[in-house]
Amino acid sequence: MTQLGLPDDIHACLFDLDGVVTKTAVVHAAAWKEMFDAYLRERDGEDYRPFDAAADYDEYVDGRPRADGVRTFLASRGIDLPDGEPDDPPGAQTVHGLGNRKNELVLQKIRTDGVEAYEGTLRYLEAVRAHGLSTAIVSSSANCRDVLRSIGAEHFFDVRIDGVVAAERKLPGKPNPDTFLAAAEDLGVQPSEAAVFEDALAGMDAGRAGRFGYVVGVDRVGQTDALYAHGADIVVKDLAELGGTE
Ligand SMILES: [Mg+2]
């Protein structure tokens, strides 16, 4: 293992954004809950079963592209909505309409409260780059670039594969490994030479499916066992635990 807490043959690090670099996983969970609860209340009346911001969030939406998150959660409740169009108005009763409503809520919350970075991750990123490893941000978010800019962290990443780039290149999102594989390829390394840093169960699945050299699960909410079950090689609560920052 290196000073960075990684196997010796790792030459690149692929980082998820929400929940790994920024403290936005909580914002996303709250926005999903507000949107789904409004929809379910309208559909089922006052005795609707609310969206669980921990269990439902982890299992069905965290880490997935927005539309996939809508579809996957609704399917868990036996609900099948038409996809609609990507520019459906927020709240329209289609997959994209509900997704756009959720995005509107996230942007509102970010505008009001701002975005905070995890200090341990920023220090780890500095160490990774100082050791000469290359880096990519791999996020399902279409707001990735704005969020990175708002915390002054754009310069930490050699490559960005986010929701915008994935749509352009028609890459299926997490739990498929394609966005991580594209990042490794853009950095000129084999998957076996790259480490994946993720807080989502869908991200662990992507790391395992892509046969990456090392998969680091970041546990911010007490789901260590689930992260291991989904393929983590190691689980930490903060990237500073891996080292590199002495
Ligand atoms: Mg995440």
pLDDT of residue 137 exceeding 80, the answer is yes
159-163, 195-199, 218-222: least confident range: 218-222
Q: How confident is the model at residue 91 (pLDDT cuts 50, 70, 90)?
A: confident
Residue 113 confidence (pLDDT) = 86
Q: Which of the listed residues 72, 92, 113 is the one where a domain comes to its end?
A: 113
Radius of gyration of the chain (CA): 18
Q: How confident is the model at residue 245 (pLDDT cuts 50, 70, 90)?
A: low
User: Is 55 in the same domain as 174?
Assistant: no
CB 84 within 8 A of CB 92: yes
Which residues, in sequence order, are CB contacts of 120 under 8 Å at separation 6+? 238, 239, 240, 241
Instruction: Compute the distance between CA of residue 232 and CA of residue 215 in angstroms, rounded to an integer.
Output: 5
Q: Give, for 236, the enclosing helix (H) or strand (E).
A: strand 234-236
Q: Which residues, by Cβ under 5 Å, contact ligand 1, an ion?
A: 16, 18-19, 199-200
Residue 111 confidence (pLDDT) = 86
User: Is 98 in the same domain as 122?
Assistant: no
User: Is 130 in the same domain as 220?
Assistant: yes
User: Is 148 in the same domain as 235?
Assistant: yes
Give the Å distance between the CA of 20 and the centre of ligand 1: 6
In the block, residue with structure tokens 């993720």:
198
Q: How confident is the model at residue 188 (pLDDT cuts 50, 70, 90)?
A: very high
Instruction: Compute the distance between CA of residue 12 and CA of residue 6 in angstroms, rounded to an integer.
Output: 10
User: Is 197 in the same domain as 100?
Assistant: no
pLDDT of residue 161 exceeding 90, the answer is yes
Instruction: Compute the distance between CA of residue 57 and CA of residue 150 in angstroms, rounded to an integer.
Output: 25
In the block, residue with structure tokens 């490794």:
184
User: Is 101 in the same domain as 122?
Assistant: no
* Active-site amino acid positions: 16, 18
pLDDT of residue 246 exceeding 80, the answer is no
User: Is 140 in the same domain as 163?
Assistant: yes
Q: Which of the listed residues 113, 142, 176 is the one where a domain comes to its end?
A: 113
Percent of the chain's residues with pLDDT above 70: 99
User: Is 96 in the same domain as 19?
Assistant: no
Q: How wide is the angle at C-alpha 196 spanned by C-alphas 129 and 29, nearest 5°?
A: 110
Biggest alpha carbon distance in the chain?
Answer: 57
What CATH number did the domain enclosing 144 receive?
3.40.50.1000
DSSP reduced 3-state for 16: coil
Give the Å distance between the CA of 136 and the centre of ligand 1: 14
Q: Give, for 15, the enclosing helix (H) or strand (E).
A: strand 12-15
Give the Å distance between the CA of 139 and the centre of ligand 1: 8
User: Is 136 in the same domain as 228?
Assistant: yes
What is the total count of domains within the chain? 2
- Examine residue 50 and say whether the peptide bond preceding it is cis (omega within 30 degrees of 0): no
pLDDT of residue 13 exceeding 70, the answer is yes
Mean pLDDT of 3-24: 96
pLDDT of residue 69 exceeding 90, the answer is yes
Average pLDDT, the chain: 95
Query: Which domain, by its residues, includes 36?
Result: 26-113
Instruction: Compute the distance between CA of residue 18 and CA of residue 3 in angstroms, rounded to an integer.
Output: 25
**Strands of 74-219, DSSP E:** 134-138, 159-161, 194-198, 214-218
Give the Å distance between the CA of 187 and the centre of ligand 1: 21
User: Is 69 in the same domain as 140?
Assistant: no
Task: Please tell me which residue, 192 or 1, carries the higher pLDDT value.
Answer: 192
Q: Which of the listed residues 113, 139, 164 is the one where a domain comes to its end?
A: 113
Give the Å distance between the CA of 217 and the centre of ligand 1: 10
Mean pLDDT of 93-115: 93
User: Is 231 in the same domain as 123?
Assistant: yes
Mean pLDDT of 10-18: 97
Q: How confident is the model at residue 114 (pLDDT cuts 50, 70, 90)?
A: confident
pTM: 0.88
User: Is 46 in the same domain as 164?
Assistant: no
CB 159 within 8 A of CB 83: no
Residue 53 confidence (pLDDT) = 92
**Distance (Å) of CA 173 to CA 56, 116, 215, 240:** 18, 25, 17, 28
Instruction: Compute the distance between CA of residue 214 and CA of residue 210 in angstroms, rounded to an integer.
Output: 11
